[in-house]
């Protein structure tokens, strides 16, 4: 039987709903670690999870047996449920937006992407999430309708 060989790096980006409480800075490390565990649980390989209070970046290797949509569904569904257990009162209405961005990462820029994700708090002192997200869409030449871009 032929063996399927693949090595596909993904950079996932997703945002909280506008009505959702932001992830507290004191909870970010735990949330990112949990999301990393969820990535690994799907058979993908977590490289790094980072972000700030209102959005998450995930750098991972896609399993040859996993789809992007299922990976994101597992991460968002399970992390949303888990985040609510950190502080049931504060995170009672926590939820992720329905959409997400997924961008392929060439082997030659994995280190650059990793550094970018690790530097999110500094990066967002100068650029909003919306501007960042649009720059990814432009860089990757993704067609989008502005009207639906940042809706819950």
pLDDT at 150 > cutoff 90: no
Please give the tally of structural domains in the chain.
1
Q: Higher-confidence residue: 1 or 69? A: 69
Residue 3 placed within a domain: no
In a domain, 139, yes or no: yes
1 within domain boundaries:
no
Domain hosting 21: range is 8-149
In a domain, residue 28? The reply is yes
Asked if residue 32 is part of any domain, the answer here is yes
Q: Are strands 45-52 and 55-62 parallel, antiparallel or unpaired?
A: antiparallel
Alpha-carbon gap, residue 110 to 130, rounded angstroms: 23
Check which CATH number belongs to the domain holding 139 and give it: 3.30.70.1290
Residue 53 CA to chain centroid, in angstroms?
A: 12
Q: For residue range 27-76, what is the model confidence (pLDDT) as tens digits?
A: 999 999 999 999 999 999 999 999 999 999 999 999 999 999 999 999 99
Q: Specify if 2 maps to a domain.
A: no
117 part of a folded domain: yes
Question: Is residue 97 one of the residues assigned to a domain?
Answer: yes
Tens of pLDDT, residue by residue over 78-130, are 999 999 999 999 999 999 999 999 999 999 999 999 999 999 989 898 899 99
Tokens of 69: 């949509």
């Amino acid at each position: 039987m032929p063996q399927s060989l693949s090595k596909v790096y993904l950079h996932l980006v997703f945002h909280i709903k506008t009505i959702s409480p932001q992830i507290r800075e004191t909870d970010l490390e735990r949330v990112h670690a949990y999301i990393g565990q969820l990535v690994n649980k799907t058979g993908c390989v977590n490289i790094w999870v980072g972000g700030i209070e209102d959005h998450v970046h995930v750098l991972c290797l896609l399993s040859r047996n996993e789809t992007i949509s299922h990976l994101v569904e597992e991460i968002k569904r399970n992390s949303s449920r888990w985040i609510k257990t950190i502080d049931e009162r504060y995170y009672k209405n926590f939820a992720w937006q329905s959409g997400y961005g997924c961008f392929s990462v060439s082997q030659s820029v994995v280190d650059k992407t990793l550094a970018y994700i690790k530097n999110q708090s500094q990066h967002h002192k100068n650029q909003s999430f919306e501007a960042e997200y649009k720059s990814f869409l432009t860089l990757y030449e993704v067609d989008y309708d502005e009207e639906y871009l940042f809706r819950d």
